[in-house]
Amino acid sequence: MWLVTLADLSLLLVGFFVLLQANRDLDPRRLAEGLAAGFGVTAPAMPVAGNAIDGFAPGRADLPYSPAALAAWAGAELRDPRVRLTVTGVADTVPGHGDVDAASGSGAVLAADRARTLVAALARAGVPDARIDIAAALRPGRRAVIVTLAFAGDPSVASQGKRP
């Protein structure tokens, strides 16, 4: 029985190396486009870096400390026209933690407010907001804003209606 399992693993390993060798000269962009087309979706931006602000008070969207270092990082990264930032506000979903918006009782609204507060602070610091997306997320035990930098491709190709 173990011999059959060993043979299966060996064939799987050989198949993997054949796949690697066959795709060695493929353009990664064309490969991503082909995979996206095969599944009927557009290729998403590829996240490459991130930053965060943790320590929000329960039920509050006020920044717990100055985002100056994050603003400097974001401004430097956005000099490259091929990147986008996604600012995701996060609210704690653990019952009893009181991490909800006071007016609506919604954690999602509070998470969006946290993201919006950081984007406004970044804009005041001179970070251009034309390539910043805002999102909200609910996570147990987490009260934060997460900033993700993603490679979105060449903007001149996207403006022509083509995917990079």
Q: Tens digits of per-residue pLDDT, 122-143?
A: 999 999 888 899 999 999 999 9
Q: Can you give the pTM of this predicted structure? A: 0.68
What integer is the mean pLDDT of 149-162?
63
Contact call for residues 90 and 137 (beta carbons, < 8 A): yes
Report the chain's terminal Cα–Cα distance, integer Å.
49
Instruction: Round to whole Å and give the CA distance between 57 and 80.
Output: 34
